[in-house]
Amino acid sequence: MTKDEILNMEEGIQLDILIAERVMGACAHYWKIVPREDDDGVCRICQKCHLEFWGLRPPVYGENYDSYSTNISAALDVIVKMENNDYWWTADNIVPNSDPVVYHWRFSKAGKRYDSNYDFSLPLAICHAALLTTIEE
């Protein structure tokens, strides 16, 4: 992904999955249905981590992600994870005279800066900045 592609991502499940995988270190399972060898049934195998799921109703995208880009509580988990990886953050939470309010978030490490655009939601700004740290540019 490029910087522009990341900064143009809207809030939602696709961004949440990228955060789960690239920032939080989780597998956002991608299930494929496969036949079982020992009977006529089927099971599901994650195409990424090869976990097998035998139940009836696996979540479409797995259980290892949260609503990071829309839920401030989940976005705080992203901040904690980044801090544990030696990133520090700054925020210009409110740009004066803007309507609606926009948010700007930055993670920094070893002199490198990763700045979100001016986003309309704080969780989105946090996710944009966090995801930028996962690409080389």
Contacting residues toward Zn ion, per CB under 5 A:
27, 29, 46, 48-49, 51
- Tokens matching residue 104: 């700007």
Smallest separation (angstroms) from Zn ion to the CB of 47: 8
Smallest separation (angstroms) from Zn ion to the CB of 27: 3
- List of long-range contacts for 34-41, beta carbons under 8 Å, 24+ apart: none
- Considering beta carbons, is residue 50 or 136 the nearer one to Zn ion? 50
Beta strands in the chain (DSSP E): 31-35, 42-46, 52-53, 88-92, 104-109, 112-115
- Considering beta carbons, is residue 50 or 99 the nearer one to Zn ion? 50
Smallest separation (angstroms) from Zn ion to the CB of 66: 16
Bridge partners, residue 107, by sequence: 89, 114
Q: Look up residue 111 and give its DSSP letter.
A: T
- Considering beta carbons, is residue 51 or 79 the nearer one to Zn ion? 51
Smallest separation (angstroms) from Zn ion to the CB of 62: 6
- Considering beta carbons, is residue 15 or 46 the nearer one to Zn ion? 46
Q: What are phi and psi of 40, to 5 degrees?
A: -90, 5
